[in-house]
Amino acid sequence: MTLHVAFRVGSGEYAVDARDVLHLETFTQATHVPGAPEFVAGLVQVRGKLVPVVDLRTRFGVTAGQRTLDNRVIVVKVGARVAGLLVDSARDIVQLDESTFEPPPELVGDQSAGFIKAVASSAQRLLLIVDVPRVIGEEVRHA
């Protein structure tokens, strides 16, 4: 059983391993970086560190919505990299049993396909487990 942070992007519910999560921050705005990939919302400052923020709506191909007070930046650590995931809301911490994880279904509809590594079910909910390294793009090309 491992702790996961559950969050919403569009109509989908997702989760990431809590061990990869450094902080949960509120989001007001990010400094746009000209020339960065489209899914990069920009840079924010978190505890003195410069953190690039990936807009998961853009990343998962969900239509852009209004920014609300519920928006959160999930600051994750992958190896030596620190990055932020901008999500619509992030409310729960859940315990998930990894032995019940299923591989992601073939058709998930939107472009979130490549970024999901498993599907978990917990208390009548289906949570899509996010492949964080892929989301923050290990291979990125610039303009």
How many residues touch other proteins (CB under 8 A)? 28
Q: CB–CB of 14/24 below 8 Å?
A: no
Q: Is 47 in the site for other proteins (CB under 8 A)?
A: no
**Toward other proteins, which CB reaches closer, 79 or 103?**
79
Given the complex with other proteins, which of 23 and 42 has the nearer CB atom?
A: 42
What's the first-to-final CA gap in the chain, in angstroms?
42
User: Three-state SS for 83?
Assistant: strand
One residue of 81, 95, 102, 126 binding other proteins per CB under 8 A: 81
Q: Does 74 bind other proteins (CB under 8 A)?
A: no
CB atoms within 10 A of CB 136: 22
Q: Is 5 in the site for other proteins (CB under 8 A)?
A: no
Q: Which range binds other proteins by CB under 8 A, 11-19, 48-56, 69-77, 97-105?
A: 48-56
- 15: buried, middle or exposed (CB in 10 Å: 19+, 13-18, 0-12)? buried
